[in-house]
Amino acid sequence: MKAVHVDAENVSEAWLQAMRALFACPGRRAIHAVVRMADPAAELDVTWSALDGWLAQHELYSIETVANTIFPAHIAAASRDHAHLVERYRRMYPALRKRLPANRAGTYFGRLVAYPSADGAFDQLGAVIDRIRRERVGGNAKQARYEAALTHPAGLAADTAVATVYMPGGDNSAMGFPCLSHCSFQLDRDGQVHLLAHYRSQFMVQRGYGNYVGLGRLLAYVAERSSLRTGHLTVVAGLAQIEPPVLGLRELVADGS
């Protein structure tokens, strides 16, 4: 099975290039797909509109709906600060999980700000932001101390900034939530923060574009809260695939540029 490597300027180009590469793979799937976006906050309106129209035709979730499971941009924009965002999201989280069948096990953002632990909900994203801030104020910020782990995050909060999605012992579904395992943030010497996100498996048709948008917004939020600039986004999928339905997708991807 082939591997896929994409290096693109923005979200739209990254998704289009990844889709074209997967269409060329046997079975339209690849083990180890690495997709890097230099500017994960930028998109092409024509690609977004075309894909959203195709998704609506097939009664699938919109790009915005998928992106909101990773980062609820509208709620964040209307919140006073991070604590207010977390408080509001946790309050509405039960309703969000009931509203859409796909959210019944939770959302990615829910895992980031309300990770279930023996001591109650744990705000991993806040821990990441606080760790970056404290390191920078100390004048000796580590470049790669903001690493995600599969160990329970509450036990690591004092030593490292953790953004874990997968819950060992609790997430036992072979194909269901969560496909996103963890988010890892790195700093560089130029005042940028970058994000590496790892998926055990990624459906590129129904989720891929929305995932890229949501992760880009998450990265921009962490950068803004840490007084840094948004760097690049790299998404690694252990298995990436073009899943059904595919009718009309090859033409959309070919015309997307």
Predicted local distance difference test score (pLDDT) of residue 193:
95
Long-range contacts of 76-81 (CB under 8 A, 24+ apart): 76/221
CB-CB contact of 33 with 62 (8 Å): no
pLDDT means per 10 residues, the chain with 257 residues, are 92 98 96 97 95 96 95 97 97 89 84 84 90 76 45 41 48 55 90 94 96 97 96 96 95 86
Question: How far apart, in whole angstroms, are the C-alpha atoms of residue 96 and residue 74?
Answer: 14
Please report the pLDDT score of residue 178 as a whole number. Answer: 67
User: What pLDDT was estimated at residue 104?
Assistant: 79
Q: For residues 235 and 33, give the distance between their C-alpha atoms in angstroms, rounded to a whole number.
A: 8
User: What is the pLDDT, as a whole number, of residue 142?
Assistant: 55
Question: What pLDDT score was predicted for residue 249?
Answer: 96
Amino acid at 160: T
Ordered by where they begin, the domains of the chain are 4-255 (3.30.572)
First-to-last C-alpha distance (Å) of the chain: 27
> Measuring CA to CA, which residue among 137, 118, 136, 115 is closest to residue 126?
115
pLDDT of residue 163: 54
Beta bridge partners of 199: 180, 237
